[in-house]
Structure 1
Amino acid sequence: MSAVPDPSVDEITARLREEDARLRRRTLWLTLLPVLVGLAVLGTAWWGVREAGREKAALDLRIQEQQGAIDDLKAERAALDREIAARKDLLTHYAAKLPTREREEVTRLQQGLEQVQRGDTASAIRAYDSAIESDTGNPLPYRLRGIALYSQGQYEQAAQSLREAIKRDSHDAQARYALGLALWAMGRQEDALAEMQRAFENPEVKARALQDPAFAPIRGVLDSRAGQDSGRSAEEKRYIDEGLQAARRGDFAAAVAAYNRALATNPDNAGILNWKGYALYRARAYPEAIATLERAASLAPRIAEIHYNLALALWKSGRRDDAVRALARAYEADPSFKAVAARDPQSRDLRAAAKPAS
């Protein structure tokens, strides 16, 4: 057998160099690995901090908006308290000049109002009953009695009392609105909606209703019906209803997606564009909201709500002068919309800027 020749010096040198290169690569990798892991950890931490900062900014903005709404409600409550006090003073002033019988009736109504403010609804109802016995032709005690009965959950009796008020004054929009609430609570939706429509001929009553939690489910049905026009396909109606439901639960991204599906079959529908634009505004996508609402306004220039929503988006985007002009167009399209806007905390600063300097 022939002997295996010993490796030459060159071969040994080549092997040593190869082993050295392998060890260098391994050493470099072991050195870089902690650095790469550290960079990955830092990157993840930076991304988390950035997202947390965004969430905090969004939460701070929501808190500011909610605080603004709370401040508006406090101011509105203070204004209502002053109005009630002024009316009570006025009632007292004129009651002193009335004959004894009428003076006693005014006193009973005052007592009822004071008892409602204290939360003693049962005593207020008895005061209103006494006022009705004194003057069966006066619609006011019937209305006040009906509202008090509704607050106690006695919907049948409330509806009966409110109908008596309307029988004596067919233009009593507040009684019609309260009757609509009572009928809705009784499950008579169509009758309730009919009364609401008649009540909303008075813009002040409509404006108050939009801020009333009891009206929220009724508004949901009205919005859904607005999206169920007979000329629309079943698919489009389904997408609109999905969008409206998503918007009501605060998922504006889902609402925009649903409206986009509806617009795919009907791209020139101003109503859907308005809903989409408002959802974009609530999602703080102001440039997209403005573009969408401007298109809606070009298709339906006489709809005040579209101009109003456009004004909100313009104001938030910093285009203050354009926002004021859009708000003016909303009022021009429907002067009664001022009462609706006056009760919306979203437009508080905008409305203040739109007031002429005194």
Structure 2
Amino acid sequence: MVWRIARAGVRALTASAIVVYACAAVAAQSGAREPEAALLARTAQLMHAGRLDAARDAAQQAVAAYPDSARAHDQLGFVLGLQGATDEAIAEFRRAIALQPALADAQYHLGATLWWTKQFDAARAPLERAVALRPAHAESRYYRGLVRKQLGDLPGAVGDLRAAVRADPGLAAAHMQLGVALQEYGDIDGAIAALETAVQLDPSRADAGNSLGLALINKGEAERAVATLRRVVEQHPEFGSARLNLGTALLQNGDLDGAVREYRDLTQREPKNAEAFYDLGLALKQ
């Protein structure tokens, strides 16, 4: 159910999350007239099918027919967010909250979208409310943890991210961010454990593998770091940060020639990467 906003806007969340949202919407409307419940369910089904334009039309119909429905405004905001119209989505979430402040979904959606649009101070209040309404909701804890980390509250971030992985042990992103936060906090063993879990849950996550490799370098486990980072580079040859860290791990492991090869490769791939040229120069002096 985590919002995945990337590149131009919001990346579509998982199909299972949309089904859950549909069930929640219908259940919440069990005492209401059928047309509203039907519109909410139809919107969710269209989202599930990837028909976002049609889903937006259905959501707009629901809002037009039921302007005082917080659920309808929240769902319209959700569709708009999936289409990358984040400003409009934020406005709809705020309308939903004005109508029903205790609607946890709207508080969470608003906070997450504000985080993705880098409005970190503004994201704090709705995420605080979302967590207060649903303390065991993994995604609300996850995003509040990210906001706290961004605003300099590292202990609070670690606490929220720990709560997120307890609530949903399969949430790879939360394990990864917990690992990054723990490394900043000085708990290198805890960081490695969290990052290893993230990689196990989602081996394709280049950021988790890169962060794990860096944590292993910082602990002095060069051989493991080389193996971890080599896998990342093989799967994602365009990931410059991982290639740079692989060079560092190879140096730490005593493989000067291997490190030089990685740095040279990176300078060819990214001729404007000053750090790659700097590290290559240092390696060549050894």
Q: Please indicate the TM-score interval, normalised by the length of the shorter structure.
A: 0.3 to 0.5
Larger Rg: 1
